[in-house]
Amino acid sequence: MWPTITWGGHRGTDQASNIIFSNGDLDPWSANGVTSSQSDTVYPLMIEGGAHHLDLMFSNEADPVSVKEARKFEMEQAAAWITEGYALNGITWSLA
């Protein structure tokens, strides 16, 4: 309860855009994580077998498939957002 009181909790996520909230089911902080979205461009991910910021670490052979899939989604979505942003200014861009 104190994080909600101290930092405001999830207020404003309905007005947010272009955010991925990744939560690992082994992460004790995930209890206060964003797990649902009221926006078409806010993506809450629950990563099975994931711990605190595991998807943001360097890849490792021991990474669970769920973490590899989360990283792939995060990269693809970020590339799409960048592409959309550049397109607004008439610039062509590609991750490849």
pTM to 2 decimal places: 0.81
pLDDT tens figures, 50-61: 988 899 999 999
Rounded Cα distance between 72 and 47, Å, is 12
Residue 62 has pLDDT above 90, yes or no: yes
Q: Which residues contact 63 (CB under 8 A, 6 or more apart)?
A: 54
| Contact indicator for 46, 64 with CB cutoff of 8 Å | no
